[in-house]
Chain A
């Protein structure tokens, strides 16, 4: 039996602060596991970009730097815009949460559309690994390996973007009903952590896929 109604209301947490801090710590624990998921991909890149550097760089030179650069700008801006939603949530400004959230989600969709265009161009140029792979020569095997990494990494990151956009829209729906206030806005904060993490992963993928070995 709980000792007081306050304890019962926040059960199993002692206070609202304990509840909110547990939620934030839980998100960081999830993000730590995500870092290890992407860490496996970075390990593949670390090894093969050194042991098969010529073919790996050949693959990097064939990626579309313009689309990659524009997409990086879009994600940087989207991350900043959603952080505005987090700040608005802390003030209890639900209308601004919706506006900033929709802006961040729209930029996320723009990223995915551009990535789709980039994939379509690469499929047309036969850069997808397989029997019709476009690059030939002694380093073609390593270039094919690079493109395996490229498609897997961008697909995995894209799936995280889809989940993030869904979470942001869920936040916007809740904010439209005016449920966030200075006393409780943890979901806005937690989705912000996830969205920033997706942003962060791209900041590491971008140089690996588009820059290192291009010169």
Chain B
């Protein structure tokens, strides 16, 4: 019961901090606080550390593939260089 109350209080405080950080325009802080909230749920409510070893492997596997999905999926958008093209003549067939 004390564990649940502690986790609930932590989540409420993190939510309040998130709202303050968002108001101040601190996007990176909001992201960190969101990750902390996820950690509180996974460790406090879901009790991953007390789960069977196979469950921990599955959870880490899910996290790994999620990282692969996000990294490879966003790679093109974040690394593509847009080269502006100037003064291009409209296509016209060569006149012999």
Chain A interface (Cβ < 8 Å from any Cβ of B): 21-22, 24-25, 27-29, 31-33, 35-36, 39-40, 42-43, 46-47, 50-51, 69, 72-73, 76-77, 79-80, 83-84, 87, 192-193, 196-197, 199-200, 203-204, 206-207, 210-215
Q: Which residues of chain A have C-beta atoms less than 8 A from B56's C-beta?
A: 28
Does B25 contact A76, Cβ atoms closer than 8 Å?
no
Q: Give the complex CA separation of A31 and B62 in angstroms.
A: 8
Given contacts A69-B15, A204-B38, A211-B19, contact A199 B45 (CB under 8 A): yes
B interface, by DSSP: helix, strand, loop or mixed? Answer: helix
Does A84 contact B1, Cβ atoms closer than 8 Å?
yes
Chain B's closest residue to A18 (CB) is: B52
Q: How large is the interface on B (under 10, 10 to 19, 20 to 34, 35 or more residues)?
A: 35 or more
Q: Which residues of chain A have C-beta atoms less than 8 A from B1's C-beta?
A: 84, 87
Q: Give the complex CA separation of A132 and B41 in angstroms.
A: 40
Given contacts A31-B59, A196-B45, contact A46 B74 (CB under 8 A): yes
Q: Which residues of chain B have C-beta atoms less than 8 A from A215's C-beta?
A: 22-25
Q: Which residues of chain B have C-beta atoms less than 8 A from A31's C-beta?
A: 58-59, 62
Does A207 contact B73, Cβ atoms closer than 8 Å?
no
Does B30 contact A207, Cβ atoms closer than 8 Å?
yes
Min C-beta distance of B90 to chain A, whole Å: 27
Does B65 contact A212, Cβ atoms closer than 8 Å?
no
Min C-beta distance of B26 to chain A, whole Å: 8
Chain A's closest residue to B40 (CB) is: A203
Does B66 contact A35, Cβ atoms closer than 8 Å?
yes
Does B38 contact A203, Cβ atoms closer than 8 Å?
yes
